[in-house]
Amino acid sequence: MAKNIDAEMVRRAATNRWGQILAKLAPKLADALKEPGRTRIECPKHASQHGRDGFRFYKDALQTGGGVCNTCRNSWGGLGFKDGLEILRWYNGWELWEACEEVAAVLGLEGGNQARNVAVPAPTPDPTAEEKRQRDDEECRVMLQRVLSESLPLDDPRAEAARLYFARRALPVGEIDLATYRFHPALVHFDEKSKQYTRWPAIIAIFSDAAGVACTLHRTYITKDGMPAPVYENKKMMRYRSSRDVRGGAIRIGPATSVLGIAEGWENARSVTAGTGMTCWAATTAVLLEQFVPPDGVEALVIWADLDRSNTGQLSARKLRLRLMAQVHVQIRYPAEHIPAGGKGVDFNDIWKEFGTAGFSVPEILQKHVA
């Protein structure tokens, strides 16, 4: 048994070869590698394909081997599996040394103590894979530009559906919204369960990475009368180029301030701003919330967390606070209401609709910085 095999050496050797490795050592996950970042499969651990409970690989999985199941991650430190070694440990129940030994065997590396001295050549890119990556990136760029060019400002007469959506959430359409959101009258929606394409009105917003560079577009599919579209996953992120990384990013609803708020959904973020005057950005999902990276100049961060019966929102908020508390002052705020019987949770848009500004108290850290 080679318990002292060099894990970093194995990671370097496995770079860009995880498709081959995982097909052999985790065959039930192979279908998820067809379109990394998009294809979901039944989780082999808890057997669920329902929405976010399915397993998927990250977009860079062929390079890193990383992926996530939003249910199983809760028993893995609350985060996804950052690389193929973690995937194999989770999938097969292996210790790190066992995963390293098996990967080394697939790659034809020497194991045990000798593995420390093996010179690992830099991975040679597969020309076919590189050409495909370039084609995919160009296709993605064109698609994003097309959707933006087809979209309309929220104050356009044809954007009535978007304004109705805001109104149903008691949110005014102000200058900050005109600068952040746009409306698409008939955006394509792909249902990953039925494999059907349909078209719906949609509110779109730019999702920026941790450095503030535009990555992709976030879509909220709605009906003509401003209701959520009756489709599987009516909120979705568009594809993004391989040079972009959404981890750490957010929908930036207004410029960064020294005291910044972060919420999961953009409707919640807008409700926070309406209720407190605080600039609040939207991470869009619980996973991205816990990965959020505040920009330079932020001295205090207020996490406006969802109160979920599943505990997902609370867990993500706590993970984010734990990660950032050594860098900035971090405070978590929860909705001051109980989850209704039969309900899945309560968020700050629920509070805003019910109580308006009376449902919010301005965080002390904001008061201190404003004073």
**For 223-248, what is each residue's pLDDT tens digit?**
999 999 999 899 999 988 888 889 89
Work out the average pLDDT over 71-77. 61
Residues 107 and 173 in one domain: no
pLDDT recorded at residue 122: 52
Q: How confident is the model at residue 38 (pLDDT cuts 50, 70, 90)?
A: confident
Residues 12 and 118 in one domain: yes
Q: Taking the C-alpha atoms of 186, 192, 197 and 202 in order, what is their torsion angle to the nearest 10 degrees?
A: 0
Comparing 18 with 119, which gets the higher pLDDT?
18
Q: How confident is the model at residue 114 (pLDDT cuts 50, 70, 90)?
A: very low
- Asked whether residue 137 is assigned to any structural domain, the reply reads no
pLDDT recorded at residue 41: 85
pLDDT recorded at residue 121: 52
Work out the average pLDDT over 345-362. 93
Q: Which of 95-99, 166-170, 347-351 has the lowest mean pLDDT?
A: 95-99
Residues 227 and 265 in one domain: no
Residues 273 and 352 in one domain: yes
- Asked whether residue 51 is assigned to any structural domain, the reply reads yes
pLDDT tens digits, one per residue of 142-186: 999 999 999 999 999 999 999 999 999 999 999 999 999 999 999
- Asked whether residue 147 is assigned to any structural domain, the reply reads no
Residues 294 and 358 in one domain: yes
- Asked whether residue 65 is assigned to any structural domain, the reply reads yes
CA nearest 87: which of 12, 156, 21? 21
- Asked whether residue 139 is assigned to any structural domain, the reply reads no
pLDDT recorded at residue 119: 47
pLDDT recorded at residue 294: 97
- Asked whether residue 305 is assigned to any structural domain, the reply reads yes
Q: Which of 224-228, 304-308, 310-314 has the lowest mean pLDDT?
A: 310-314
- pLDDT of residue 209 exceeding 70: yes
- pLDDT of residue 76 exceeding 50: yes
CA nearest 331: which of 367, 295, 283, 297? 367
pLDDT recorded at residue 113: 37
Residues 222 and 289 in one domain: no
CA nearest 87: which of 78, 151, 96? 96
Check if the beta carbon of residue 22 is closer than 8 Å to that of residue 62: no
Structural domain harbouring 315: 259-370
Name the pTM for this structure: 0.73
Residues 233 and 263 in one domain: no
Residues 228 and 329 in one domain: no
pLDDT recorded at residue 127: 64
pLDDT recorded at residue 107: 86
Residues 358 and 294 in one domain: yes
What's the structural domain count of the chain? Answer: 3
- Asked whether residue 197 is assigned to any structural domain, the reply reads yes
- Asked whether residue 53 is assigned to any structural domain, the reply reads yes
Mean per-residue pLDDT over the chain, rounded: 87
CATH of the domain at 321: 3.40.1360
Task: Say if residue 124 is exposed, middle or buried (CB neighbours under 10 Å; 0-12, 13-18, 19+).
Answer: exposed
Q: Which of 1-15, 67-81, 197-211, 218-232 has the lowest mean pLDDT?
A: 67-81
What would the 3-class secondary structure string for 234-258 be? CEEECCCCCCCCCCCCEECCCCCCC
Residues 223 and 278 in one domain: no
pLDDT recorded at residue 158: 98
Q: How confident is the model at residue 115 (pLDDT cuts 50, 70, 90)?
A: very low
CA nearest 300: which of 247, 258, 359? 258
pLDDT above 90 covers a percentage of the chain that reads 54
- pLDDT of residue 339 exceeding 50: yes
pLDDT recorded at residue 1: 44
Residues 103 and 41 in one domain: yes
Residues 24 and 111 in one domain: yes
Q: Which of 124-138, 171-185, 353-367 has the lowest mean pLDDT?
A: 124-138
